[in-house]
Structure 1
Amino acid sequence: MKYALITGASRGIGKAIALKIAQELQYNILLNFQSNAEAAESTKKLIEAEGVKCELLKFDVADAEKTSKALENFTKNNPEAEIEIIVNNAGINRDGLFMWMKPEDWHSVINTSLNGFYNVTQPLIKDMLKRRYGRIINIVSLSGLKGNAGQVNYSAAKGAVVAATKALAQEIGKRKVTVNAVAPGFITSDMTADFDDNELKKLIPLNRFGEAEEVADLVSFLASKKASYITGEVININGGLYS
């Protein structure tokens, strides 16, 4: 039984990705969330309406021990399950100028995006390599490529995942496991709810924010067999703001 694991998938971009992979690729979904059980349950119902199974996995990707235990328990209880797709989407931001940045604001952002990538991917990669098939897709950010004032911690975390994507792709390509990153710009979501749309839109050639579904379309393509010859890539999805 084939599964796709999407982290931070109860809402926003993660939710859109989980739904799209269920709809288009007909994978069963492992939906990771940290705290919002109500949103996770609601997303699960939408996914199961697509005729696939959806299991909820509650853990904080930044917590190595809890992540490891949750993944171990799932594989032990579902010996027939094959996790073929991993989408590392979980991320948090704690914005502020670097000179005033508190240690916890630095570490929490790094721990979720960068250590979360390690904590989730490393234990699952061995089975992908044995089966000689897999798709690893890391959701990074425009901030990790061009940098963004007030987001030194977020830019550092996402930039590190970009570099890790390129290196890991070179390590495991021979086993037909691809590793790519998707770098969204301004996407309509909780994370951008407080942004000044009108001012920012002037900077974007397409003159609008992107939609979570548009990011999901790209991720679903990269997760499919159609993307077999793409690996080590970072694909921007930002309306022309930066390339």
Structure 2
Amino acid sequence: MSQFVQWLKAEWETLERRTGEKYSARRLSIEAGLSPNTLYQLLKHPAVKPRPETCRKLAAFFGVAPLLVLQLAGHVPSKEAAETLSELEAALQRGDLQTLILSARDLSPAEVQLVQQMVDQLRTKRREEEVARGAAVALVVEDTPDARAAIVSMLQAAGLKVLEATDGQSAVELMKTSGSLIDVVLMDYRMPRMDGVEATREIRKHFPDLPVLFVSAWDEPEMKEAAFEAGAAEYLVAPVGYDQLLEAVSRVRRGEGEKVTT
């Protein structure tokens, strides 16, 4: 069995344990952005080297550095991969990634793109570590199931523990029993029984230092002003992406919420 296939099976098993779902080769191929039969063919013919683009898509899907997958597939020598990753980690700490990318390595456009992908992976990893530091617990208050599930999924992917409430009244009641465990609240605006503004006022009466981040599709200036007056640390207009959400959660947890809407 090739190193690539061993890695693929290990990541596959980890995914199934984490999600509690079974993934067929076809389903995994499609969700990773590959042709439906790609993984079936790679498992059936383990001696066949996967294409570089296949490696990059799998790396993005499983959240690992593309260079590592390319190395496992035999596209990049192991020593070169290790050296490049080491340089990237060091450059990330120094903050001179642009210098590294534009250095005298005579990188081809494809190699520059690959390095940038790795940089993005490393930056995301650092953001996730920062957001999740201290086993953070988030409360997501959202009455729309799909919107709530999307936010919960992103937070859990970053390592946070998540509690859920379907409206403002439920959130206030949950805070009475679990408020001391919660590190950040993500609040929708319009909800049945009690809206986000009233819920925020109630929550901050008892937890004045708890950051409340509004995430709502409502983009009216007066609604944003009401949210800030109630004690919101920041207001994001949905839909939001993974990086945008993590950066905002990190800011409000540090007490650096932006009193502007994005």
TM-score over 0.5 for the pair: no
Higher relative contact order structure (alpha carbons within 8 Å, sequence separation ≥ 6)? 1
Instruction: Provide TM-score, normalisation by structure 1.
Output: 0.39
From the two aligned structures, give the one with the greater strand fraction.
Answer: 1
Whichever of the two has the greater Rg, that structure is 2
From the two aligned structures, give the one with the greater helix fraction.
Answer: 2
Instruction: Provide TM-score, normalisation by structure 2.
Output: 0.37
